[in-house]
Amino acid sequence: MKTKRIPKKITALLLFCTLMLTSTLIAQNTVDAKEILSAIKNGKNVSYENVTITGVLDMTFMDEKAADLPTRRKWYKNNGSNSIEEQIEVKISFVNCIFKDNVFAYIHDEDSKYTFIANFQDDVKFTNCTFKGNALFKYSDFENDADFSGSKFKENTTFKYAKFDKNVSFANTTFDEDAIFKYSEFRKGVSFGNAKFRGNLNLKYTKVDGEFNVKGMDVAYDIDSKYTKINGKSFNKYLVSNN
C-alpha cells in the first residue's frame, strides 16, 4: 500500500497556521502595561486573569504629569505641596497574573522632589499574583475592599502610610524581602493569616481597628511593633489577650 505524500504547499500552509495560532496565544497571555494604563485613564474597569504584564505599571502617571509641574523652587518658595495624587475611580482586578516589571502607586522623583501617589476609590484585587519587580503602594488610600491574598512579592514592597478603609486581606501572601507597613491604618481590620515573611516585618506605628488575623503567620526575622495599636492595645498585649 502506497502512502500519499502531502504536497509541499499544504505542509507550508499548515506550518504557517500553527505559527500564527501560537503567536496569537502568546499575545493573548501577554499584556503591555500601557494597555492597562490607557483603560484606567479612559475610565474603564480593569480585569485580567492568567496573563503576564510587561512594562512598568505606573498608576501615578508620573511621566504625563511631571512636565507640566512648577519647578521645585516655585512650589517650595510658596509653601506648596510636593504631593501629586492620582484618583483611580475604576475597579482594578488581577487574578493569577505575573508582573514582570515594577508596579508603582508611589514614586518620589529625586530630580523634581515631587512625590506621585495613586489612590484607589473602588475595589482593588491582586490575588494569587506574582510581583517580580518592586511593588510600591506608599501613601495610597484604598477606599473600598483591597485583596492581595495569595500573592508573591519577590522584590521591595511597601505599604507605608497606606490607609485601608474597608476589608483588606494579605492572607497566604509571601514577601521575599522586608515588608513595610509602618504607619499604615486598617480601619476595618486586616488578615495576615498564613502569610510568610522571609525578611523583616515592619508594623511600627501601624493602627488596626477591627479583626486582626495573624493565625499561621510566619516571620523569618524580626517584627517591629513599636507603638503599634491593635484595637487600642499594643501588639503584644493584643496577642496575649486573644490567645
Lowest mean pLDDT among 50-59, 68-77, 176-185, 210-219: 68-77
What gap in Å lies between CA 169 and CA 147, rounded to an integer? 5
pLDDT of residue 219: 98
Angle at 236 between CA 231 and CA 240, to 5 degrees: 85
In a domain, 2, yes or no: no
Q: Is residue 104 a part of any domain in this protein?
A: yes
The domain in which residue 148 lies consists of: 8-241
Judge whether 178 lies within some domain: yes
In a domain, 67, yes or no: yes
Decide if 75 is inside a domain: yes
Q: What is the pLDDT of residues 34-43, one digit of tens each?
A: 999 999 999 9
pLDDT at 146: 98
Alpha carbons 168 and 149: distance in angstroms, whole number: 9
Q: Which pTM value belongs to this model?
A: 0.85
Distances (CA, A) of 220 to 59, 130, 160: 31, 20, 20
Q: What is the pLDDT of residue 79?
A: 53
- Whole-number pLDDT of residue 56: 98
- Average of pLDDT values for 121-144? 98
How far is it, in rounded angstroms, from Cα 125 to Cα 40?
15
Q: Of residues 8 and 233, which shows the higher confidence score?
A: 233
Confidence of residue 152 (pLDDT cuts 50, 70, 90): very high
Q: If you search the block for the grid coordinates 485580567, which residue do you land on?
A: 48
Confidence at 25, pLDDT banded by 50, 70, 90: very low
Set of cell numbers at residue 135 = 511593588
- Tell which phi-psi region holds residue 27, choosing left (phi > 0), alpha (psi between -120 and 50) or beta: alpha
- pLDDT per residue as tens digits for the range 47-67: 999 999 999 999 999 998 887
pLDDT grade for 16, boundaries at 50, 70 and 90: very low
pLDDT, tens digit (0-9, with 9 covering 90-100), for 153-163: 999 999 999 99
- Flag whether 148 is in a domain: yes
In a domain, 151, yes or no: yes
pLDDT at residue 10 in the model: 52
Q: By C-alpha distance, which of 122, 150, 128, 148 is closest to 137?
A: 148
Q: Please check whether residue 3 lies inside any domain of the structure.
A: no
Q: pLDDT tier at 205 (50, 70, 90 boundaries)? A: very high
Q: How many domains does the chain have?
A: 1
Residue 33 CB neighbour total at 10 angstroms: 19
For 99-131, the pLDDT digits (tens) are 999 999 999 998 888 999 999 999 999 999 999
